[in-house]
Amino acid sequence: MIKRTTLFFLIASLGITIFSFEINKQPDTDGKQKVIRTIVIDPGHGGSDAGAKGQYSYEKDICLAVSLKLGKMIQEQFPDIKLVYTRTTDTYPALHARANYANENKGDLFICVHVNSAPMKKGSEIVGYKTVTYYVGKGKNRKKKTKEVPQYRYFNIPSTAKGTETYIWGAGKTDDKELAVRENSYIYSEENFEKNYGPNFDPNSPEAIAVSLLKTKQYFKRSATLAGLIQDEFVKVGRIDRDVKQRPVGIWVLQATAMPSVLVETGFISNPEEEKYLNSEAGQVELSECIVKALKNYVKWLEDKQEDNEKDNKDEKSKDSNAARIADTKEFLETVEANEKKKSGR
């Protein structure tokens, strides 16, 4: 009787404990980690590097104008996000300096703004004819003749290429990206990283390399997601979609930044129609708004992923905690039963 009563009491206590734990397990929304704290905006070219040239404008000026509008909109929509520019005037920071600057500021996202260009085609037209004298035959049979030879004017035909495309670092080329991640390892930005990882943490250790490989894959997925969202927004306003493209070489700022990174080609300065759009206030505002809308969707996507991860972690902790309680209770019951057997002399 004592055994059954004790067993019932302990099981009931265990049930109440577990039930109370489930009731009090509320999501901790206070102090929730921000998915993006710092955004780096990189206006392409600048200074002595004018970039592509249109009929009357230069790429560097359009890049800067769009970037400043984009930054202003981001500050309005995301006041808690720190915004960093690689340049805010007509200067030329070296490409490696831009990447280093982004890494030093522990950027969570790198947005590079550029303008595209396509080579002109060669054209020609007849502008007149020239009379040319020539002779045929030999000796007494030699005769003088003339003919009209067309005269051509040669000229360049502006490219008709148009639309937007967004580049990310190529998935097939990861060595340099992994090196950037390793050398600017994200864990250095964590609080008390020395306490968590030890004062002798080596970014070139096998453990650190494994972490960097995971980060590289994560950065690729996030870069690709944002790039796709940007292109989607451009399509909504009628821009021609030239798709998301990967570049394994040739874009240093995508290669050397230890964070998700995109390079947005906003249009073709080599197309007169596009050049007019890119230089217009309305065009620059529209381009900036599209990127900001994509950024909102990207942040929402990251927040959803964060919530899913937090839920999974809490579920795992709950399972582990409940398992520990059950194991402790089982052990206690076995002890009680053993003591009862000992007392009864069984």
pLDDT at 336 over 70: no
What's the pLDDT score for residue 53? Answer: 94
Amino acid at 161: A
At 138, the pLDDT band (50, 70, 90 cuts) reads confident
Q: How far apart are CA 287 and CA 54, in angstroms?
A: 19
DSSP labels, 248-309? SSS-HHHHS-SS-EEEEEEEETTSHHHHHHHHSHHHHHHHHHHHHHHHHHHHHHHHHHHHHH
CB contact at 8 A, 59 and 53: yes
Q: How far apart are CA 202 and CA 215, in angstroms?
A: 16
At 162, the pLDDT band (50, 70, 90 cuts) reads very high
At 256, the pLDDT band (50, 70, 90 cuts) reads confident
CB contact at 8 A, 259 and 302: no
Summarised one tens digit per residue, pLDDT across range 28-80 is 444 567 899 999 999 999 999 999 999 999 999 999 999 999 999 999 999 99
Mean pLDDT over 215-227 rounds to 88
Which residues does 310 contact at the CB level (< 8 Å), separation at least 6? 27
Query: What does DSSP assign to residue 190?
Result: S
DSSP labels, 25-39? -----TTPPPS-SEE
Fold topology of 38-117+160-306: Aminopeptidase (3.40.630)
Which residues does 284 contact at the CB level (< 8 Å), separation at least 6? 62, 65, 66, 69, 278
pLDDT at 21 over 50: no
- What's the pTM value of the predicted model, to 2 decimals? 0.69
pLDDT at 311 over 60: yes
CB contact at 8 A, 157 and 122: yes
Q: How far apart are CA 220 and CA 195, in angstroms?
A: 29
pLDDT at 253 over 90: no
What's the pLDDT score for residue 184? Answer: 47
What the block records as the tokens of 161 is 């290429």
Pick from 19-28, 125-134, 142-151, 177-186: least confident: 19-28
Residue predicted with more confidence, 159 or 24: 159
Domain boundaries, the chain: 38-117+160-306, 122-156
pLDDT at 4 over 80: no
Mean pLDDT over 268-273 rounds to 95
CB contact at 8 A, 62 and 277: no
Q: What is the CA radius of gyration of the chain?
A: 34
